[in-house]
Amino acid sequence: MDKIQHKHIKVNNINMHVAEIGDGPAVLFLHGFPELWYTWRHQMLFISSKGYRAIAPDLRGFGDTEAPPSSTSYTAFHIVGDLVCLLDSLGLDQVYLVAHDWGAIIAWYVCLFRPDRIKALVNMSVVYHPRNPLIKPVEQMRQFYGDDFYICRFQEIGWEEEFAKVDTKKLLASFYFKRKPYPPKMPRDYANSFNPPPYTLPSWFTEQDLDYFASKYRANGFTGPFNYYRCFDLNWELCTAWTGSKIAVPVKFIVGDIDLMYNIPGTKEYIHGGGFKEAVPQLEQVVVMEGVGHFINQEKPQEINNHIYDFITKF
């Protein structure tokens, strides 16, 4: 880990923290929530040992990357713009893209807006759904899960203050080590009702790992990450011109069978019934890992390392 280099790069009018190691063809890693560049530590070391250049930024509003104050500064266009500027700053015309969770959502947008910059994509957890012109995303989620669904609750300005009342390590542990694939619900008095059992570290996570994530979220808060969720409907409005668009890069998709995202009603049928392949014509492989939860690249690092390497070596 001490061989990973860290720097700040000015991109799209913000200062972005970037972790990097290795030389050779570039692989860009995009993290999710509540994560950071650090989620890719295992993949970065492995990929760099195979002759690749591993690059993992803290995305806008996360970790040591600048967090603009306005919630409307976190649209897909802002985030993809940051990444295109990052590639330009590093002198990279094209990269392999690897992503998870919110990073997966952003990766789909990168492939929609700038497929010319991507050689191939390994995406995890979140499938690509073409834009539904009939209903806004948050409205649809509210209909399915109610106001207490975590994404609906995150829409409320000031909700981060409720999070701040909860011990950060316990809060993050409740996310990372969750094994039941049911929709997270957060009542309005979440801080008072938050009472998880004491966490037990799984074999794939250390106290040092948890301390690192907690230190960054304790220092920087949750406003930046929450603003991604607050732009769901704004992205829907801004992307009208991409209605019906398909993903035009080679893709490998990986998900755990006890991942919440895999167990959303209709998702399994969409993935295995042909809908996903129709929206992503160059979908070459879908991997469903048994007994694996949401934070798949940390839970099964060596398997994910091999999946990434086996796929990108084809291109």
**Which of 101, 176, 217, 262 is the catalytic position?**
101
Annotation marks residue 167 as catalytic: no
What tokens were used for 241? 């011109």
CA-CA distances (angstroms) from residue 24 to 39, 54, 55, 282, 297? 22, 9, 11, 25, 22
Annotation marks residue 78 as catalytic: no
CA-CA distances (angstroms) from residue 310 to 21, 106, 108, 188, 303? 20, 23, 21, 45, 11
**Which of 17, 78, 100, 294 is the catalytic position?**
294
Phi-psi category of residue 63: left, alpha or beta, with phi > 0 → left and psi -120 to 50 → alpha: left
SS3 43: helix
Per-residue three-class SS string for 46-99: HHHHCCCEEEEECCCCCCCCCCCCCHHHCCHHHHHHHHHHHHHHCCCCCEEEEE
Q: How far apart are CA 254 and CA 252, in angstroms?
A: 7
Annotation marks residue 101 as catalytic: yes
**Which of 52, 190, 228, 229 is the catalytic position?**
229
Please tell me the chain's helix, strand, coil percentages from 3-state DSSP, rounded to the nearest 5: 45, 15, 40
What residues act catalytically? 101, 229, 294
